Each structure stands twice: as C-alpha cells, then as structure tokens.
A and B are shown apart, each in its own frame.
Chain A
Amino acid sequence: MRDQPRFKEDALNLFVFAKRVPDTESKIKINHETKSIVEEGLNFVVNPYDEFAVEEALRIKEAKGGQVTVFSVGSEEAKTVLKKCLAMGADEAILIKDDSGETYDALRTAKIIAQALKKKYTEYDLLLFGKQSVGADSSQVPSMVAALLDLPQVNVITKLVIEGNSGIAYREIEGALEKVTFPLPAVISAQKGLNEPRYETLKGIMAAKKKEIPVITLQELELQSEEIAPQLETVKMESPPARQAGQIIEDEPDVAVKKLVEFLHHDAKVI
C-alpha cells in the first residue's frame, strides 16, 4: 500500500523503464563468433512499446499531478533514449549503467531494476514498461520485476484507469480483453493501442539537452556479478533460413485464381 501522498492528493510518482533498441526497419546481421548481432550501422531508437509507457505516464501526471522518472539499463549510449523521453516531457531520467551488452537473460535486467528500486528509488506508485523490447522479444522483465518486488502486475494493457490507490487495466488476451483490478503500487506493461505517443517539442528538446542525467553503477547498487550472472547461455545465433520465391504469375484473374486454388489444394494441401 502507498504510505503518504507526496504531492497533492492523487498525485503519483511514476517510474518508466525504457530500452535502446534497433529500429524495426533494421536488417539484422549476425556475428557468429560473438553470437550476437552486429550493431554497427544500425539506427537505435526508444523501444516502441516503451514509448507507449512514457506517454501513459505523462497523461496520468497531466491528469493527477506527480512526477515522471524514466530509467534505462544499459551503456552510456542509452542516454540518447533517455534524452528523447525527457524531450517528450518526462521530469527526470536516470541511467543504470550496465555495459554487459544484450545477454537475452531478462532475469538479470529485472534483478538490476529491482535492486535499484529497493536500495535507491524506493518511493513509487506505478512502474510502467513496454510489453516487450523489440529485439530480445522476451516479454519477461515487467513480470520479473513485479515478482522480485512482490507487486501486482498487469501486462499487455490497452487501457488504464487509476483511481485513488487502485487501478483498473484491460489487458489483451486471445480474441478478448481481460479486465484486471489491482492496488498500487503495481507494475503495468503497455501494448500498442494504449495511446498515441506524442512527438517531442522543440522546447522539450532544448530543455532535455540541458538536463543532467544521473548515472548509477552496479557497484553503487551493491550487485555482485555472480548475483546477476546470466542464467541462459547463448549457444548460437543464426539468420533465418532464406525462403525461396515460388511461382509468380501474371495471368487474368480467373485463370490465376484457378491456378492458386489448385496449388493450395493439391500441392500445399492447406485447403
């Protein structure tokens, strides 16, 4: 339960977690030696799902008051992601410096975040994440942080209402939405459809440029390397098998359709 409100009644301390990822137009090349993707030449952006989380936090703050702080776990380069979130309107941004690169082990990231919130940033009402990072595609960090901090969780949400000390969220499932009620503090993760993220304003960009981004290290968080050693080992990484283009026809529609249905029915046997 929330102790005392720190701002005016209803005001919320909102923490958002944003990751730096290659944009979705990127062609992914693999370094087979290091079993990782080649980062040179890629254009990095704020993870698109995290932008929905930032936007939602800003909207809650605008409606109820409070503060929006954005965190990123990553290398110095992740500051560009934090700058963008500041330019969108976040009040503060903090880099949790981790130079290990992508490990594909979500538990490691979740432990780092949970430790930061246990040791240093202990006052919050809502933790907002994207439903997954595009890239690692794990969809694990929000649930894991919730577990490590013993908080309720609602993932993949498309609607959120906060009232007093509790929330109602609608989360996507197969062909339906689940309505979930929960007390604060809590963890939510954003799905596309939750909102339409705003663009940064020129004023926001200028203000973000001037803003200091504090950096905290894993040492400061007193995290021993064995505690956060990845629990998954990458054995290999490969490009997907190339698909062979099949037959492409330019016949009259009636003829083309007959050939297509023949293919689906007799060759592919999928209909």
Chain B
Amino acid sequence: MILVYMEVREGKIKKSSLEVLSEAQRRGGDLGMETAAVLVGHGLDSLAPEVSRFGASKVYILENSLLSHYSPSGYTQALLSLTEEIKPEVMLFAATYMGKDLAPRLAAKLGVGLASDCTQTSINNGKLEVVRPIFAGKAFASFTFKSTPQMASLRPNVFPLGDPVDSQGETVKKEVVIPEAQVRDRVTEIVRAEGAELDVTEADIIVSGGRGLKGPENFDLLRELVSLLPHSSLGASRSAVDAEWIDHQHQVGQTGKTVSPNLYMAFGISGAIQHLAGMSSSKYIVAVNKDPEAPIFKVADFGIVGDLFQVIPPLKEELKKVLSE
C-alpha cells in the first residue's frame, strides 16, 4: 500500500497534498498497489469525499480533539500507531512546512530513511526511486531506500494534479488515544503575514526583485504586478533581503527558498549563483536588467535589456489588456 499524509489547513486539504496523492496514484498503478490517505486532527469527516475523488481507495481519519491544532509530537504519535498497524510499503508527504516538520519525526520513530523535497519519482524493479535537488538545485541526486516504508516528501507545485473521479472510497475513522502530556509542542496561534500573501513556494507566478529596484519603496511596483497576476507571489534576491528592503520570507535562492513556478520574472536581479540555484527549475524565466552581461540572461527564456522603471508601467497596461480578454 502507498499511504499519503493529507495536510489540512484552515479546514481545507492542501493542494500540495492532492498533488502527492495524484503522484501516489500514478506510482501505485506501476506497482499494482492500492493508494490510501490519512488525515490527522479533529472534525475532519467532511473532507474524506474529496480525498477519495483524487484516488484514495481508503481514507483513514485519525481523530482526537487534542490534535485540532498541529503538534509534531502529537501527530507523530497518531501516525505511528497507524503505520505500525497497516504497514505501508511507501509513505509520502508534501514537502510543505508541516510535511518537512512531521515526516522526519515519524521516520526516526520508525527507524527508516527519508528523502526530502523530491521532484521526480519512478519505480525500478518494484522499488521507489526518487530524484531530489541538492545544493538548492546545483545538483540532482537519485535515491532508493533500504528500509520500509520507503518514505519521501514531494515538492509542492511540481507534480500535476490528477483528474478527480467519481469514486467512493472507504473511510476508516479511528479515535487515537494520546495522553495529553505527550502533546508537548502545540501550535497555540497562527499569525498571518501582512496581506496574507501567497508563499513563493506555492505560487504559479513569482515576480521577484533585486538591488536594481534601488530601494524598499520600489517593491510596490512589483506588488502591483502581483496583484494583477493570478496565483502569484512576491520574490526577492538575497541582496535585497540583506539590505532590509523586504522580509526574508520572500528570499529565493540557496539561503532562501527553492522555487519552481510556471513563470519567474526577475527585475533588477543580476543572477548570483546562489540565486540561480533556487529558481532555475522554473518553467519560464523572464529577466529585466540594465546590464546585458548579467548572468540572469543566461537562464532567461525572455530577457529585456533595459531600465525596469521604464518597463514596468507599460508592462502593467499590456498585462491588464491580456488578462481581461
């Protein structure tokens, strides 16, 4: 069995978890294996049908009111009892903040290896093989597993969603028993970032700025583009972050986030090697820079050598036209 952990945020299944479930479904087909899903928390029954539609033949719901908020120790306890009972051959997570926090804790409890943030999966001789970027994408390594369950987390926004089907999976609800004293690291509050912006790791389009913006106030120009473009987010280079023009949450690159959106638009970013590592797997890259020699142009699908302050205003108008079509 392939078991997929389904992350719930604000009462909804994360899209990245559905991506993982879709990929599990494809690999399950290769292996001739059933795909099951597991949800952990409190009051999640209504979410089971959606999970079934994305291919889970069984949906486990691990229920305990102590787990209504995320707790790595509590959630691990719950998942440990299920994995020990049903013994999946493969277990997959989305490499979200929660997945990256939870999967290693569970892996260590199970004593198994874990491959983080994978961008490809395949089956070789009946075994899972995964590819994961290392050095933020400066190299790619392929791994197989020597322990069971073969455990991996998959990078959000990389694996295509399957088509939902009209299927009714079985739902198995389990009340998990966890002593309150074992739930020791509890989320007591979630503080939204200003504007509740979409995280760069989840965006389809990233509008990113560097030192060429000349000052923090000019990130507003990029924010205007972000507000026009659907499912987009604001990115930044390390030098813009280190100059304190913008919060580090936006930083793309080796000491920031590694991203692979459909479209990455770099304004005034020269393209230091540590930045290129973090965004080179984007599907399309657009660069606007005054310096024709900027390394960013070596990876750009479309580059404009020019002054970003003269490019952005007409760009806004053109985008508005196209988007309203």
Measured CB to CB, the residues of A under 8 A from B are 22, 24-28, 30, 35, 37, 48-49, 104-107, 110, 134-148, 152-156, 170-183, 186, 191-193, 229-240, 243, 245-251, 253-254, 256-258, 260-261, 263-265, 268, 270-271
Closest residue of chain A to B95, judged by CB? Answer: A139
Asked if B193 and A134 sit within 8 Å, CB to CB, the answer is no
Q: Does B107 contact A (CB under 8 A)?
A: yes
Closest residue of chain A to B132, judged by CB? Answer: A137
B-side binding surface: helix, strand, loop or mixed?
Answer: mixed
Q: How large is the interface on B (under 10, 10 to 19, 20 to 34, 35 or more residues)?
A: 35 or more
Q: Does B20 contact A (CB under 8 A)?
A: no
Cβ contacts B133-159/A at 8 Å (1 or 0 each): 111111111111111000000000000
Q: Does B292 contact A (CB under 8 A)?
A: yes
Asked if A175 and B199 sit within 8 Å, CB to CB, the answer is yes
Asked if A140 and B297 sit within 8 Å, CB to CB, the answer is no
Interface-lining segment among B23-31, B36-44, B82-90, B300-308: B300-308
Cβ contacts B98-137/A at 8 Å (1 or 0 each): 1011111111110111111100000000000100111111
Q: Does B33 contact A (CB under 8 A)?
A: no
Contacts A144-B104, A174-B96; is A247 near B249 (CB within 8 Å)? no
CB-CB nearest 4 A-B residue pairs: A231-B113, A152-B185, A147-B108, A246-B301
Asked if B141 and A173 sit within 8 Å, CB to CB, the answer is no
Given the complex of chains A and B, what is the CA–CA distance between A247 and B302 in angstroms? 5
Chain B residues near A263 (CB, 8 Å)?
A: 301-302
Asked if B305 and A177 sit within 8 Å, CB to CB, the answer is no
Closest residue of chain B to A148, judged by CB? Answer: B108
Chain A residues near B171 (CB, 8 Å)?
A: none
Given the complex of chains A and B, what is the CA–CA distance between A89 and B241 in angstroms? 26
> Can you identify 7 A-B contacts, CB atoms within 8 angstroms?
A134-B254, A137-B258, A142-B104, A155-B100, A178-B190, A192-B251, A253-B311
Chain A residues near B188 (CB, 8 Å)?
A: 179-181
- Smallest beta-carbon distance B94→chain A, Å: 11
Which of A30, A174, A247 interacts with B303 by CB under 8 Å? A247
